[in-house]
Structure 1
């Protein structure tokens, strides 16, 4: 965990607002897909977020791919739930990490973990994608709230959820670099991720 802690000591633009993890021990997993959900016009940011998170998970010993690399840019939207699940299970994917823009505001919002924990991976993806069409990462004086969730593929249950506040004055590239280590470090501390 040392390299993450060292790296995070210089970060001032991103901070964890809240996080939650399922009670009890987490069943070990090793094969992960990272799915970033951003406004449709922000394709470069999606690629940066998925790739950075994938790199960090790989450095911990997980076999990780971005959703774009594994299934194409629109696979989660164009394939039905059963097709996506069948493809992931066939490829041995055990968990999905989602990264999504959930709000733009002047003040942080409360993280409703009870409500989030009751929503499965595909319902979360559908509702998040619907509201993203009106948002964009292009208002530098605002604060952006991002949510990272970790879902188990077998039953699509939520294992971890973390909300992060990002200063809109940083570039998308800097954001992708700061966001990943911040969240991965929190997931390590919560025990849902482990060095492999």
Structure 2
């Protein structure tokens, strides 16, 4: 009984403390596309309250693309997309094309959910008492259930990233991702960028341009 209790305790602590992101679904075009020449703009679409997170997400993903040899930039560094509201769509595409934008990679926060639940004090000490003696067991458990517990706050993020080729706005890649209890905004941005880049490489949506150049030399 004690080994099982210890295992459950370790698992519970790990589950509460760890943060993780994972791709729940992804799609990519079967047609080959070239992204080698021109700039890729990373555009985050999130509520104003998450503006700090938006900038970190954009910059991490843009940096990850640059590390592969692409010319990529975060939209928050060079554009104010608020100014495009109400403009004609053709005019927006024209301006992007004039600035050498060949593709747009989005980061959309589809939903953000928070939950708080009450976790009672650990019952493991009580469970490890002499279960053959009812008096001892009863008193141990009774004292535990009357102790004050603590509150646990969980945060869930649901994301979608899509890659559009300009100027025809052709969708060539899309992925949905979920994140649970990120430890910090930088950690979430780093983990998310790594996931998306890895998945696009896996499906040959993008490639490591540095390795290509090395092969040619």
TM-score (norm 2): 0.65
Structure 1 regions of 5+ residues with no counterpart?
1-10, 107-138
| Counterparts of residues 108-187 of structure 1 (less than 5 Å) | 140-187=153-200
Moved beyond 6 Å, runs of 4+: none
Q: Which has the larger radius of gyration?
A: 2
Across the two proteins, how many residue pairs are aligned to each other?
A: 154
Cα distance in 1 for partners of 2:83, 2:112 equals: 26
CA distance in 1, matches of 2:190, 2:19: 12
Mapped pair 1:16 → 2:23: yes
Identify the residue that residue 135 of structure 1 maps to in structure 2.
none
Decide which of 67, 82, 86 is 1:74's aligned counterpart.
Answer: 82
**Secondary structure of the residue that 1:159 maps to in structure 2?**
strand
Give the stretch that moved more between structures: 52-61 or 18-27. Answer: 18-27
Matched, 1:60 2:68: yes
- Higher relative contact order (Cα pairs below 8 Å, separated by 6+ residues): 1
Query: Hey, what does 1:87 align to over in structure 2?
Result: 95
TM-score, reference length from structure 1:
0.71
Q: 5+ unaligned residues in a row in structure 2: which ranges?
A: 1-17, 115-151, 210-217
Q: Report how far residue 87 of structure 1 moved.
A: 1.4
CA-to-aligned-CA distance 1:82-121 (integer Å, 9 cap, x gap): 2321111111110000001112469xxxxxxxxxxxxxxx
Please say if residues 13 and 170 of structure 1, whose CA atoms lie closer than 8 Å, have aligned partners that are also in contact: no
CA RMSD of aligned residues (A): 2.2
**Structure with more of its chain in strand, by fraction:** 2
Moved more, 46-55 or 162-171: 162-171
Q: Which residue of 1 aligns with 2:7?
A: none
